[in-house]
Amino acid sequence: MAILKILQYPDKRLHTIAVPVDAVNNDTRKLIRDMAETMYAAPGIGLAATQIDVHERIIVLDISETHDQLQVLINPEITMRNGTFEYEEGCLSVPGIYGKVKRSESITVKALNAEGEPFTLDATGLLAVCIQHEMDHLEGKVFVEYWSKFKQSRVLAKLKKNQRSAM
């Protein structure tokens, strides 16, 4: 297993739309293991393949406090949405930045698991937020892009300042 490099906003590769996975195979499962290791090491609760510059429709997530309940969604598709609410989000590709985003309160998603088997999942609360956030990555969208252009420019300025401080 390997810890992979996470792309940082505003890297243009984060705006690449991911393509469906044709077949779940050993290479797919190795990628999933590497993505999970990367997510846990970051530490985070979700990671889309887009964030590691692999533009396939794969998401790993684990919202458990014990970090032992990994969920894998391959070719996820939201089939139902209910309600709306705001939730404060962060992102491994936008370190140190947090803010509210309006999302569906509950969703139903269909996907394939790591064995390529189809399943349906009903999600609410943090799990629903996490799935929607990661699915945005698969569509080439980063959560800060829900905000005003002014707020986005402030985020970019802060990220640049943080990068200079880290050198």
Give the residue numbers annotated as catalytic, written as ranges. Answer: 134
Say if CB 31 and CB 72 are below 8 A apart: no
DSSP states along 122-158 = EEEHHHHHHHHHHHHHHTT--GGGGS-HHHHHHHHHH
Q: Which are the contacts of 6, defined by CB distance < 8 A and separation ≥ 6?
A: 38, 42, 47, 51, 52, 92, 93
* Structure-block tokens of residue 136: 């945005």
* Structure-block tokens of residue 97: 């930045």
What is d(CA 80, CA 104) in angstroms, rounded to the nearest whole number?
9
